[in-house]
């Protein structure tokens, strides 16, 4: 049983017209970094719950819950969430969901974390918590967005780089504008041409790497197909260890 419980809004941080973070206080059960929850509100007309799944950005040890959300044009729930005020109440699930956690990842020399858009959330949670990190020699965090102003968690990513003292490397990617600190293009193209590896200075192969893919379903599907075909990397299953762990963001 996983009941809905009340969550109090502590703050809404509006990064852009379409990107925002919601901070909540709620007596949820302990979750694992990388897991997700569900938020819900009643639809005014039909009095039924509108619910969507969102990953935690905060570390499990941080009791102030943080969710990073993209505002969908004509979306039923995201527009309401965007306009919530401090001390408003919404519904949240008592228990978290999902297996996109380090506990599920086998031991490899290099852990690659790929995210598009708001899918940076679970990686922020994992890296802020910092548990089970020491078994990887290198961790590479790749965040792809359209425009530079969508890199709203870049300051946190840079802070985490300092925390891990060389173990963590970050690389941003922009698809619709150019910036001297970011690569340009889409993740599958940059991988196919080994542009990401050249920039990072590390090789990705089925012997030394595990890849986490989180974000746009097209990116996840295309990247998996590319790595499976060109690098002989396989999907990781509990019954059969592999190189790729995936989570789609709709």
Per residue in 206-243, pLDDT tens? Answer: 999 999 999 999 999 999 999 999 999 999 998 999 99
pLDDT band at 52 (very low <50, low <70, confident <90, very high): very high
Mean pLDDT across 38-65? 91
> Which residues partner with 183 through β-bridges?
173
User: CA–CA distance from 4 to each of 38, 42, 50, 142 (Å)?
Assistant: 9, 12, 12, 34
Query: In order of start, what are the domains of the chain with their CATH numbers?
Result: 4-93 (2.40.30.10), 102-248 (3.40.50.80)
Which residues lie closer than 8 Å to 46 by C-beta, 6 or more apart?
Answer: none
Nearest-angstrom CA–CA distance, 205 and 27: 42
* Residue 46 pLDDT > 70: no
Parallel/antiparallel/unpaired status of strands 168-174 and 182-184: parallel
pTM more than 0.85: yes
> Which residues partner with 91 through β-bridges?
6, 40
| pLDDT, tens only, 158-203 | 999 999 999 999 999 999 999 999 999 999 999 999 999 999 999 9
Say how many CA atoms lie within 13 Å of 93 toward its Cβ: 19
Nearest-angstrom CA–CA distance, 245 and 222: 14
């Amino acid at each position: 049983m996983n009941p809905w419980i009340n969550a109090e809004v502590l703050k809404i941080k509006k990064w852009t017209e379409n990107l925002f973070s919601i901070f909540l206080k709620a007596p949820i059960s302990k979750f694992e970094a990388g897991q997700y929850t569900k938020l819900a509100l009643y639809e005014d007309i039909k009095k039924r719950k509108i619910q969507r799944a969102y990953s935690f950005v905060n570390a499990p040890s941080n009791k102030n819950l943080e969710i990073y959300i993209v505002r969908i044009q004509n979306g039923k729930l995201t527009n309401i969430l965007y306009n919530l005020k401090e001390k408003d109440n919404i519904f949240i699930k008592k228990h978290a969901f999902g297996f996109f956690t380090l506990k599920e990842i086998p031991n490899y020399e290099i852990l690659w974390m790929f995210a598009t858009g708001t899918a940076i959330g679970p990686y922020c949670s994992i890296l802020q918590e910092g548990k089970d990190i020491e078994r990887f020699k290198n961790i590479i965090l790749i965040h792809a967005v359209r425009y530079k102003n969508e890199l709203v968690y870049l300051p946190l990513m840079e802070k985490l780089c300092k925390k891990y003292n060389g173990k963590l490397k970050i690389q941003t990617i922009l698809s619709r504008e150019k910036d001297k600190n970011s690569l340009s293009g889409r993740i599958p193209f940059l991988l196919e041409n080994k542009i990401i590896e050249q920039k990072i200075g590390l090789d990705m192969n089925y012997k030394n790497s595990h890849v986490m893919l989180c974000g746009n379903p097209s990116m996840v599907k295309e990247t998996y197909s590319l790595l499976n075909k060109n690098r002989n990397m396989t999907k990781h299953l509990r019954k059969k260890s592999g190189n790729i762990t995936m989570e789609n963001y709709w």
